[in-house]
Amino acid sequence: MVKATIDRSKSTKSPKEANDMTEEPARQITEIELARLGADDIAYVRPVHIDNTVQFMLMAGDGRELGIAPNYKTAIMTALQNDFKPVNVH
């Protein structure tokens, strides 16, 4: 088990300011911006049926097809080798 500690002596806020729970308004983003989130960082891995076999499709965060692998392990390794963070899609 890893334990983390926080050095509060480096805080620039007073205890009262640190406990202030005021929220800033959320920024609105467009549907296109939402689709692009993680587009170049995340590879979604999902099973697909092709020619009566299960293969694994890699898709970018924006839905672009990146490739198809014959098995799950190959799909994950391909994503990692190409600097993507693989994420399972069920």
Dist. CA 11–CA 24, nearest whole Å:
20
Torsion, Cα of 76, 79, 84, 86 (10° steps): -20
Whether the predicted pLDDT of 55 surpasses 60: yes
Dist. CA 77–CA 89, nearest whole Å:
16
Task: Over range 4-27, report the average pLDDT.
Answer: 56
Domain ranges of the chain: 42-90
Query: What is this structure's pTM?
Result: 0.59
Instruction: Say if residue 36 is exposed, middle or buried (CB neighbours under 10 Å; 0-12, 13-18, 19+).
Output: middle
- What integer pLDDT is reported at residue 69 of this predicted model? 95
- Residue 24 in tokens: 């800033």
- What integer pLDDT is reported at residue 63 of this predicted model? 80
Coil, helix or strand at residue 10 = helix
Task: Over range 29-39, report the average pLDDT.
Answer: 70
